[in-house]
Amino acid sequence: MKSVLYLGTKNYSSWSLRPWLVAKKAGFDFEEVVIDFDQPDTKQKIQAVSPSGKVPVWVDEHVRIWDSLAICEYFAEQVPSLWPSDPIQRAQARAVSAEMHSGFPALRSEMGMNVRAYLRGIELSEAAKNDLKRIEVIWTALLEAQSNNPNAEGWLFGRFSIADAMFAPVAIRLNGYAVPMSASMKAYQAQFYADPDFQQWIKDAEEDTLIVPRLEIGQDNEEYNAIQPNDKA
């Protein structure tokens, strides 16, 4: 039996991107099944494969797993290099991954992932601004800690790890909405957009024509959106 990763619509499903990217980096051979959001049969299709009624879900000959981080952990059982090899770094990687998995609710709701959105003008709440600040602190500290590592490849712990996958949707959120970014945030965001596997997800999402109106945050701000990106605040 070929392993299957059930995903939500690639343009919008931030949870789905994470295990998909990790599976790609692990070199797994798997089938992708996208269950589009907000269709008359969406709920039924997700419930048919997912005990929690949510995607992503991984199914192979041994197991069915229905949570993005649990799926990533399962992959790491087979490919341990998906976490840093150093136990201290591995603990830190797990801490920031768990923080991303369980936190940042304001950022999630106000800057929903939308691959096809580009620097849309939005007004962030204080809570969302604080979420962004916290992400900046995490990224900056971890990238600075790698600055003396000759083998660092631009990822949070040098080589790609599950921690990077957890933050991949943030790189897309930062592309979708015009919010201030520090130099280290820009550099780490660029790291994703230069990655061939990440680029494949972007391409798939861009080629998809499904628009889910409730997830099109900031689309009415046409005046702001007409300003050239470099002139935006």
Ligand X SMILES: N[C@@H](CCC(=O)N[C@@H](CS)C(=O)NCC(=O)O)C(=O)O
Does 112 bind ligand X (CB under 6 A)? Our answer is no
| Residues 172-191 interacting with ligand X (rule: CB under 6 A) | none
Residues 85 and 158: beta-carbon distance below 8 Å: no
Segment (H or E) for 97: helix 87-102
Measured CA to CA, the distance from residue 146 to residue 134 in angstroms comes to 19
Does 55 bind ligand X (CB under 6 A)? Our answer is yes
Measured CA to CA, the distance from residue 25 to residue 28 in angstroms comes to 8
Q: Which of 24, 54, 94, 134 binds ligand X (CB under 6 A)?
A: 54
Segment (H or E) for 130: helix 126-145
Angle (CA) 204 206 211, round 5°: 110
Does 9 bind ligand X (CB under 6 A)? Our answer is no
With contacts defined by CB under 6 A, name the span among 11-19, 76-84, 137-145, 213-221 that binds ligand X. 11-19
Count the alpha carbons within 13 Å of 224 in the hemisphere toward its beta carbon.
15
With contacts defined by CB under 6 A, name the span among 26-34, 48-56, 130-138, 197-205 that binds ligand X. 48-56
With contacts defined by CB under 6 A, name the span among 50-58, 127-135, 158-166, 172-180 that binds ligand X. 50-58
Does 169 bind ligand X (CB under 6 A)? Our answer is no
Q: Which two tokens stand for residue 229?
A: 């990106």
Does 67 bind ligand X (CB under 6 A)? Our answer is yes
CB of 32 to ligand X, least distance (A): 15
CB of 101 to ligand X, least distance (A): 6
Does 68 bind ligand X (CB under 6 A)? Our answer is yes
> In this structure, what DSSP letter does residue 80 have?
G
Does 205 bind ligand X (CB under 6 A)? Our answer is no
> In this structure, what DSSP letter does residue 123 have?
P
Residues 177 and 183: beta-carbon distance below 8 Å: no
CB of 10 to ligand X, least distance (A): 11
Binding positions for ligand X, rule: CB under 6 A: 8, 13-16, 43, 46, 53-56, 67-69
